[in-house]
Structure 1
Amino acid sequence: MLTIHGVTRSRASRIIWLCHEIGLEFRQIPVIQAYRLADPDAPHAALNTHSPAFLSLSPAGAIPVIEDDGLVLSESLAATLYLARKHGGEIGPADLAEDALMMQWSFYAATSIEPDALTILFLHARSRLQSGEDQALVAHAAERLVRPLSVVEGHLSTRRHLMGDRFTVADINMAEVLRYAQGYCELMGQFPATMAWLEACQSRPAFRQMWEARLAEPE
């Protein structure tokens, strides 16, 4: 059985969403990020990314990690693409061209969107007063995202999915990255087709199942 190391409040959410989409059973070991613990190296600390047992599996000390039939993968996008190819049926690639397009959109999300989207996620919070420095960092991140999001918007303005005529792992990977910036309306409001697509992705039962599990975990 597939094993996923990592709490759902991490990039493991991408893998878990995919598993629910394709009906793939998995075992989850809730490794938590060390930065979320007061003393991750304490003798009785929860299993975390500093724990020797986890570092023996992932020397980089980052979640998620999957184990599948002896294969260990420590990058979430590598894991989703691998599982889609192995188990995905319609959610995976039908041929080499589709495989290339799924990688294209996944890597575009990771390299051109995710870094600045994460800045927005961590620094933009309507429930607290932001420092002037945080506001400037968020504004600059949003400015840099206009160009890559315009590419996504142009693509989705004439189609329902990123690739082909069906929901695929490319949609999962992109949607999970864009979720980080979703709450910043000043940015996302400029891209109505992208927002409509994202909301459709997040209305899927498999996403809701993952999200409910994520909300049930401690913050």
Structure 2
Amino acid sequence: MTFTIHGIARTRTSRVLWMAQELGVPYTHVKTAPGEGGTRSPAFRALSPMGRVPVLEMDGLVLSESLAINLHLAKAFETPLGPRTKEEDGLMTMWTLFAATELEPNAHEVLVHTLNRPEAERDPAARDAALAALARPLAALETALVAGGGHLVGGRFTVADLNVASILFYLRAAPGALAATPAVAALWDEAQARPAYAAMMRLREEG
């Protein structure tokens, strides 16, 4: 079973490339950049009417939304990252939605004002407000990780941890963002130490 990932590694496509590296199976990466000739091309719009990456093609199925793609891949292959029971499946979905709704909006705002914008255009007040807004969901995540022995589902590193970590990635240039949540910081450290994460980062460096 093979699949194709459309997108470039310096977008949310990096999350799916990370998952693909975790799976260790053959796949095709079609480097599709935002803009003319890429996401605005008729061929790509036929796959993704929103014109956004990443997009997964797999056995006739076309999926967008990076975190949903990861959930699908985790279940499509025999891997410890996927659910072993329907209960684990529910929990992995829950934590993925938590990451998307409770973490990502403010984590992305932190990213904008620490790395994405030129330094002269960054707003420290906006960054700090976003960090303050993250305190409650990070505390909830901390509680769950402590209860789970360092992981969110099944006592092992799963797609739930990967999807959450892919959003913690936005906080990498904000020193102290995880200081009040040591279990969250430990998960982030574990994620960065995984060979598949390192492989994904190499893909980002290649462009």
TM-score range, shorter chain: over 0.9
Q: 1:131-142, aligned counterparts within 5 Å?
A: 131=121, 134-142=123-131
Q: 1:93 aligns with which of 72, 83, 94?
A: 83
Q: What residue number does 2:156 align with?
A: 166
Q: 1:1-219, aligned counterparts within 5 Å?
A: 1-34=2-35, 40=36, 47-125=37-115, 129-131=119-121, 134-158=123-147, 159-217=149-207
- TM value normalised by structure 2: 0.92
Q: Which amino acid aligns with 2:25?
A: L
Highest CA radius of gyration, 1 or 2?
Answer: 1
Cα contact 2:161–2:187 (8 A) shared by 1? no
How far apart, CA to CA, are the structure 2 residues paired with 1:127 and 1:82?
A: 33
Q: What residue number does 1:37 align with?
A: none
How far apart, CA to CA, are the structure 1 residues paired with 2:4 and 2:96?
A: 22
How far apart, CA to CA, are the structure 2 residues paired with 1:99 and 1:142?
A: 30
How far apart, CA to CA, are the structure 1 residues paired with 2:116 and 2:56?
A: 35
Q: Which amino acid aligns with 2:20?
A: C
Segments of structure 2 that go 5 or more residues without pairing to the other structure are: none
Q: Which amino acid aligns with 1:75?
A: E
How far apart, CA to CA, are the structure 2 residues paired with 1:185 and 1:4?
A: 32
How far apart, CA to CA, are the structure 2 residues paired with 1:128 and 1:55?
A: 31
Would the alpha carbon gap of residues 176 and 126 (structure 1) be closer, same or farther in structure 2, given more than 3 Å must change?
closer
**Cα drift, residue 187 of structure 1:** 2.3
How far apart, CA to CA, are the structure 2 residues paired with 1:129 and 1:136?
A: 14
- TM value normalised by structure 1: 0.88
Cα contact 1:124–1:130 (8 A) shared by 2? no
The DSSP-based 3-state class of the residue aligned with 1:56 is helix
**Cα drift, residue 127 of structure 1:** 10
Cα contact 1:11–1:76 (8 A) shared by 2? yes
How far apart, CA to CA, are the structure 2 residues paired with 1:164 and 1:177?
A: 21
**Cα drift, residue 98 of structure 1:** 0.2
Q: Which amino acid aligns with 1:14?
A: R
CA deviation map 1:36-93 (0-9, x unaligned):
xxxx3xxxxxx32212221121110110001000000011111111111110421100
**Cα drift, residue 194 of structure 1:** 0.9
The DSSP-based 3-state class of the residue aligned with 1:4 is strand
